[in-house]
């Protein structure tokens, strides 16, 4: 049975609705995503760790839960906010309702909220801290919402030990800053042998395995909170072909002299147009990030901008002028979203196979 529940933002605004599943308190950064499908992939994407996610699409849960769609073994969000929660799925691959799934994993859900008004507030005022609470919020809840701290979230979501996925093709090292399973699936489809390393693995340990290339994955939080990762990434970029995705893109940018900054409300959705500067080709991309590379900081670095977001002009891709090192801010593996950029993996694997 649903219970009264509220979301209080750090600016004091309260959004009331019904709590479903595990009606409990949750503290996190409140963000919205415009993806119309893929709520399960959103829930299990480690890049959302530490966040309370608002779905702008009004009906959520209508196709249930399919274990094959999970991007990690469990949801990573701290809370979930929707307009209307549907618990009568009809999809043939559904194994349970969304409410049962989230209750099992202890994720509180607030439904019945005017998500249009909430999204508009976040767009106008910017991303902010928030707190989900049963019933009515108390004055101390607003103060708590203003103290959300996401430092350390990469350590929460990275793997604990290295592991290997076999394959007949080139050996790639994957640095796990909060990877989505679909990155591994796409590389495995291309025959790669993959060794996945925890985020804090020194570059020397990675290089000792003699990989043909390295992939720095997506992940949560502020890249400037993990400058240790940039230090190690710089070493890898001197020795190997390297591909950085999302947080990995930001880490590599910092490693080679650029800077990053926080976006007002981030890019989160499955419908962001990105232009390749050399060809003018436009791809529709899946994105989930709250930080971006500062283009003015690229002067004097070896970086060249290769891709640009057509909504706001922000940097979406970089290429090292002298080394086989590429980055993408968006998710070429999608999940959820379009497949326009999956060819990137094949191009990178071909480069690694040449032993450049």
pLDDT tens digits for range 24-83: 899 999 999 999 999 999 999 999 999 999 999 999 999 999 999 999 999 999 999 999
Confidence (pLDDT) at 315: 98
* Position 269 confidence tier, pLDDT thresholds 50, 70, 90: very high
Alpha-carbon gap, residue 128 to 138, rounded angstroms: 18
Measuring CA to CA, which residue among 251, 231, 228, 242 is closest to residue 320?
A: 242
Confidence (pLDDT) at 60: 97
pLDDT in tens, 213-254: 999 999 999 999 999 999 999 999 999 999 999 999 999 999
246 in active site: yes
Domains of the chain: 3-145 (3.50.30.20), 153-353 (3.40.50.880)
Average pLDDT of the segment spanning 262-290: 97
SS3 339: coil
333 in active site: yes
Strand locations in 142-259 (E) = 163-165, 171-176, 193-198, 213-216, 242-245
Annotated catalytic residue, options 192, 246, 249, 341: 246
Annotated catalytic residue, options 41, 232, 333, 341: 333
Average pLDDT of the segment spanning 121-147: 95
pLDDT in tens, 75-106: 999 999 999 999 888 788 999 999 999 999 99
Confidence (pLDDT) at 1: 65
Alpha-carbon gap, residue 89 to 39, rounded angstroms: 13
29 in active site: no
Task: Give Cα 180 distance to the centre of its chain.
Answer: 8
The two beta strands, 14-21 and 26-33, are unpaired
Q: Which helix (H) or strand (E) holds 266?
A: strand 260-276
Spatial contact of 247 and 217, defined as CB atoms under 8 Å apart:
yes
Task: Kindly give, in sequence order, each residue whose CB lies less than 8 Å from that of residue 59, ignoring residues fewer than 6 positions away.
Answer: 83, 84, 86
Confidence (pLDDT) at 356: 58
Q: Region of 240 please: left (phi>0), alpha (psi -120 to 50) or beta.
A: beta
* Position 317 confidence tier, pLDDT thresholds 50, 70, 90: very high
Place of tokens 């990275």: 158
Annotated catalytic residue, options 20, 320, 331, 341: 331
Alpha-carbon gap, residue 202 to 350, rounded angstroms: 26
């Amino acid at each position: 049975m649903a219970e009264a529940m509220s979301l209080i933002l750090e600016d004091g605004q309260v959004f009331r609705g019904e709590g479903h599943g595990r009606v409990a308190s949750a503290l996190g950064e409140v963000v919205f995503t415009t993806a119309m499908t893929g709520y399960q992939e959103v829930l299990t994407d480690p890049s959302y760790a530490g966040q309370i996610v608002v779905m702008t699409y009004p009906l959520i849960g209508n196709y249930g839960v399919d274990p094959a769609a999970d991007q990690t073994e469990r949801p990573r969000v701290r809370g979930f906010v929707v307009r209307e929660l549907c618990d009568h799925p009809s999809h043939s691959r559904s194994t349970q309702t969304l409410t049962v799934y989230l209750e099992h994993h202890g994720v509180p859900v607030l439904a019945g909220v005017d998500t249009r008004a909430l999204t508009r507030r976040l767009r106008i005022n910017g991303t902010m801290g928030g707190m989900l609470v049963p019933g009515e919020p108390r004055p101390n809840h607003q103060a708590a919402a203003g103290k959300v701290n996401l430092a350390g979230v990469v350590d929460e979501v990275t793997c604990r030990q290295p592991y290997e996925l076999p394959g007949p093709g080139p050996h790639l090292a994957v640095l796990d800053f909060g990877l989505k399973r679909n990155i591994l699936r796409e590389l495995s489809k291309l025959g790669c042998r993959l060794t996945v390393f925890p985020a804090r693995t020194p570059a020397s340990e990675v290089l000792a395995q003699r990989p043909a290339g390295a992939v720095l994955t997506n992940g949560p939080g502020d890249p400037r909170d993990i400058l240790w990762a940039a230090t190690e990434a710089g070493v890898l970029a001197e020795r190997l072909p390297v591909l950085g995705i999302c947080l990995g893109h930001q880490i590599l940018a910092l490693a080679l002299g650029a800077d990053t900054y926080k976006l007002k409300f981030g890019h989160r959705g499955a419908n962001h147009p990105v232009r390749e500067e050399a060809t003018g080709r436009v791809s529709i991309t899946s994105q989930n990030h709250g930080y971006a590379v500062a283009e003015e900081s690229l002067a004097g670095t070896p970086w060249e901008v290769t891709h640009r977001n057509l909504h706001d002009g922000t940097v979406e891709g970089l290429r090292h002028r002298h080394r086989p090192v590429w980055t993408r801010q968006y998710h070429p593996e999608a999940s959820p979203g379009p497949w326009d950029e999956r060819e990137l993996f094949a191009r990178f694997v071909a480069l690694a196979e040449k032993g450049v």
